[in-house]
Chain A
């Protein structure tokens, strides 16, 4: 017994020798560890396997596009110093930067751009991101022409998307699809080093990057599923940056020494989509009653601590073609009651469908309280994710909270709910065909003319109360406040080249 006690006491004395274990693991000042929940694993966007949102964490840093998508959703020159658009909107001419090198030392030329666009357009993401792409012409080594089959004003956003990351044609011919996926190279500020499945991805600074060598030399993307562990790790110094903490967590971080947060607008818009094809939803006065009864500020305070941007129309302010001339529908309880009195509503249940356990369940509960206040017998229908998707697909709902994200940061995405191939005609919005045709016409316009078209569409949606735009989605990041340049990007990834230690 004495021996056991002795061993335990010895252990208690020896263990403190490991003190600072967490801090010791903290990376040196030219390295950063970013902790994430999602698992990036596809590092080659041209692959037949495609790629998704989490892969952007790697893709956005290993590859450069002709144009760069900045954190606030704006476009800036990247591999193309400038570009022009023909008068008919069909031909985009890109003038490439000279002396840009791939991470294997080869120079990037127009051949690589043509290879990327030809292969990307033929792949699984081509139809979604290279919309209306027809072909690519090489004018000379540093000039390419991209020709569209019909005009699409948002095409530059596709150029700046994950699919637009320029790949090396020569390297592809040497290693093939699988080789490129296993050891990707681009012209980006960071070189891919390794991916340890389920554990981490490592990137290393590309010293010959055309913008100059990045300040942070090593980036480790640690994959940690448990959010509590992420928070504790950030506090402990195991991680330097935490991706997408909740707004409540951001509030807690802001009260802690040594941790800062950044909150920005994402490209998603949160709306309440109303049924307009069956039941009480066919009554315009009822839909208008719902529209006027919703206090968006209260919702924003309840779920985002007031941090999100309120939407007046079903288009994010950062989208190209945003119609800032349109005024939204104000919260007005008396008007809502008046609309309800004029409607054929007889007190039946009105459900608000959302995903159970998500933020949107809270949103639904706030809306429920607001609708009850005007006399609508609202019920929250919180369901699992699969059921939610099924109900959306079949449009089997009274109203449904929707988080509509857009990779192409453009007002064109307003037409998503009205695209003919997506839904059965029996669940069609009465003016869907008209809206879709207008959106199609908007694709061939530039500048203020586009704003007019999308403004008209937004006005129809408000007049018909098909959707109630609530708020712009938010994107967040928490980080060690000795780091500079960390910013929440609208697409949820980060551009490590802007980061540096103070």
Chain B
């Protein structure tokens, strides 16, 4: 039951994190110049109409009161309605989350499915052509920003080769390019991490012992080295998954995927505080839970990790 206790403890630790993140965000959004009510009503609105809307939105109250009221409502799962479009934040988030999760999971599968085998292979064949090739690819993927890589891939795969649609969610083909772009950076991390980890493991004494006992290279790698080399990679997968949810902001914008990333970016542009706050709270919870799950998986993969301590 130590893992359950550990999970509960970690979940409780999320509370101060959420409070800190939301308070800082709330203060920043409140300090931004401009009158939100006038933004919503337009320049033709009379001062009375602006004052009325400010009152209706509670913007005439002190900052701390507004924050506390917001958090009390949030505890009741009332995240408010969008100031700009009037939709309720929670159902809208629930509608959009599956798209973001789908793209993020596919991105992770793409990155791990290709990155780990390539990283291991380049470690086994250190200083080979494959190893140098992988190092080059890693540097390339790390140095290319998603918005540029996305556009280049659209030109190549959509405009020149006509293999894939440019954007949208109409067919399954729409979900090929976005995960590749979103996962490109993670792919580079996976190659590098699994290569480094494997290189460390295959220099260990127990690997040397296995070889001395006459085990074939194939057996040594498959049965002795891979599992141990994957422990840091599993941690990296968790961190990367949280990162892909953040990275979805750019990718969803490029490929017109109606996920939470595009929702967040539109809300920030329009100073739509309820949507920004709600989205950030959800993302914080998701990232926190993902990190917890990763820790639990690590404990399963590596028996040396004792959650109780």
Contacts and interface: CB of A to CB of B under 8 A. Distances in A.
Contact of B162 (A225, A236, A389, A393): A236
Given A39-B266, A232-B159, A1 B125 contact: yes
Given A1-B121, A386-B34, A238 B258 contact: no
B258 to A, nearest CB: 3
Contacts of B155: 232
A229 interface: yes
B62 interface: no
B298 to A, nearest CB: 27
A257 interface: no
A225 B150 CA distance: 14
Interface string A1-45: 100100000000001101111110100000000000001011000
A23 B162 contact: yes
B143 interface: no
B138 interface: no
A197 interface: yes
Contact of A236 (B38, B118, B166): B166
A21 B256 contact: no
Given A18-B173, A386-B32, A238 B165 contact: yes
A224 B168 CA distance: 8
Contacts of B162: 19-23, 236
A198 B96 contact: yes
Contacts, number: 129
A22 B165 contact: yes
Contacts of A199: 168-169, 256, 258
A226 B86 contact: no
A354 to B, nearest CB: 16
Contact of B164 (A18, A197, A226, A235): A18
B55 to A, nearest CB: 16
B83 to A, nearest CB: 11
A39 B265 CA distance: 13
A228 interface: yes
A465 B87 CA distance: 46
B16 interface: no
A225 B255 CA distance: 9
A386 B154 CA distance: 34
A46 to B, nearest CB: 15
B151 A223 contact: no
Interface residues of B, number: 49
Contacts of A392: 43
B232 interface: no
B216 interface: no
Of the four ranges (under 10, 10 to 19, 20 to 34, 35 or more), the interface on chain A belongs to 35 or more
Contacts of A1: 121, 125, 130
Contacts of A225: 253, 256, 262, 265-266
B163 A18 contact: yes
B256 A386 contact: no
Given A223-B256, A224-B256, A225-B265, A25 B170 contact: yes
A42 B266 CA distance: 17
Nearest to A16: B163
B46 interface: yes
Interface string B82-107: 00011100001001100000000000
A139 interface: no
A225 B252 CA distance: 9
A82 interface: no
A229 B167 contact: yes
Contacts of A128: 44
Contacts of B86: 42, 49
B117 interface: yes
Contacts of A348: none
B161 interface: yes
Interface string B168-185: 111101000000000000
Given A39-B266, A225-B265, A21 B164 contact: yes
Given A19-B162, A22-B163, A198-B266, 17 more contacts: A4-B121, A18-B163, A25-B168, A41-B85, A196-B258, A197-B92, A198-B262, A225-B262, A226-B167, A226-B253, A228-B151, A229-B151, A229-B254, A232-B158, A233-B165, A238-B167, A393-B38
25 contacts: A1-B130, A4-B117, A4-B118, A20-B163, A21-B158, A21-B162, A22-B158, A22-B159, A22-B163, A23-B162, A25-B165, A39-B266, A42-B85, A197-B92, A197-B95, A199-B168, A199-B258, A200-B168, A232-B154, A236-B162, A238-B158, A387-B33, A389-B39, A390-B33, A393-B43
The 6 A-B residue pairs with the shortest CB-CB distance, nearest first, are A198-B258, A386-B34, A224-B256, A233-B166, A199-B258, A21-B164
